[in-house]
Structure 1
Amino acid sequence: MSICIASAGSVLTFLAGSFSLTWIHSVEKTEWVEHWQVEGDRLALVSARVKGPGAGIDLPPDAVWEEGGWTYRPALPPLSQINLAASGTTPSGWQFCTEDKCMELGATAGAATSIWAAHTCTESQPAQGQ
C-alpha cells in the first residue's frame, strides 16, 4: 500500500508504512504530534504527543509524561482517510513526515488536504465515512 495525499489539485504518492503529522495548536500555540500507520487500506492513529492540556486538549487518564510532553494512544478506530483543514489561524501548516522525507501541508488558509492509503494513488479517494 501507498500513502496518498491530495492537496492543491495534485495527488502525491509515498511508499511508506507509517508517517507523522505535526502542527501548532491555534489557541494554545503548543505542538501536537500524531503517529499514523497503514493497516490494509486504513490509517491507524498509534500515538499522539502534546506539550500540555488546554483549549480543546483533554488528556486521557493513560497519558504518560515523557521528555517534555504527554504521550498517549488515542481511542480511535482506523480511518479510511484523514481530512486536514487549514484555518489560517495557526503559525504554520501541518508537517507530514515519513521515515525519509518531510513536507508542509495546508500552509494556505482554506487549502483542503486529504490523506489515505491505496494500492496506487491514481485511485479515487475513499468516500467520506467509509
Structure 2
Amino acid sequence: MLGLCLGLAGTLWAQVPTAHFTLAWSHTIEKIRWEEDYNVTPLGLVLVEARVQGTGAGMEIPDDAYLKDGSWHYQPKLPILPVLRLGRTPEAGDFELCFTQISGDIQCKAMSHWIGPPNKQVAAVEVWGCGNQAVAIK
C-alpha cells in the first residue's frame, strides 16, 4: 500500500499509512472549515473532491458546486500533484488529516500529531505519496 509522506525538501519527517485522506483546515480569517479529499497514487496526489462550509474572502464557490449536509461540494480540476506544499504557522492553526482505519472507522488528527506543532522557523510542510519516485530522487 502506498502511504502518505510528510516532510520538507525531500526529507521525510513522518509517514501515514493510507492511500486516501482528507486534508481539512479552517480559513484563517473567516474561520470556515475547508476539506479536500485526495487519493495517493504512484504518480502523485489526486484531488478528488473539495468541500467548504461557506463563502468569504478568497472562498468563492465554483459554479458547478452543490450544497449537501451544510457544505458546498465540488470537483476541482487540477492535474496530479507530485507534491502538495502547505503553509503552516502558529497563527493560522494546524491542518487536520483524516483517513479510514482498517476497522472502517474514520480517524482525524491534527498534523501536529505526526510532525509536531506549527512553528515560525519551519513554516511549511510538504505532503506526497511515499511511492512517488519523482519525489524520492528530488
State the TM-score, normalizing by the size of structure 1.
0.81
Aligned to 2:82: 80
- Provide the C-alpha distance between the structure 2 equivalents of 1:68 and 1:98, rounded to a whole number of angstroms: 21
Aligned to 1:118: 130
Identical columns (%): 29
Runs of 4+ in structure 1 deviating by more than 3 angstroms, as ranges, are 123-127
Aligned to 1:6: 7
Distance 1:10 1:2, change over 3 A: closer
Aligned to 1:108: 118
- Structure 1 residue 87: Cα displacement: 3.5
Over the aligned positions, Cα root-mean-square deviation in angstroms equals: 2.5
Distance 1:13 1:96, change over 3 A: same
Q: Is the 8 A contact 1:33 1:48 kept in 2?
A: yes
Aligned to 2:53: 51
- Structure 1 residue 34: Cα displacement: 0.7
**Matching residue within 65, 68, 76 for 2:67:** 65
- Provide the C-alpha distance between the structure 2 equivalents of 1:27 and 1:21, rounded to a whole number of angstroms: 18
Q: Which runs of 5+ in 1 are unaligned?
A: none
- Structure 1 residue 124: Cα displacement: 5.6
Q: More displaced, 66-75 or 107-116?
A: 107-116
Q: Is the 8 A contact 1:5 1:114 kept in 2?
A: yes
Per-residue CA distance 1:75-123 (angstroms, 9 max, x = gap): 1111001111124333x30001221243322642433211101238xx9
Total equivalences in the alignment:
124
State the TM-score, normalizing by the size of structure 2.
0.77
Residue 17 (str. 1) matches residue 23 (str. 2): no
Which one has the bigger helix percentage?
2
- Provide the C-alpha distance between the structure 2 equivalents of 1:116 and 1:97, rounded to a whole number of angstroms: 15
Q: Which runs of 5+ in 2 are unaligned?
A: 102-106
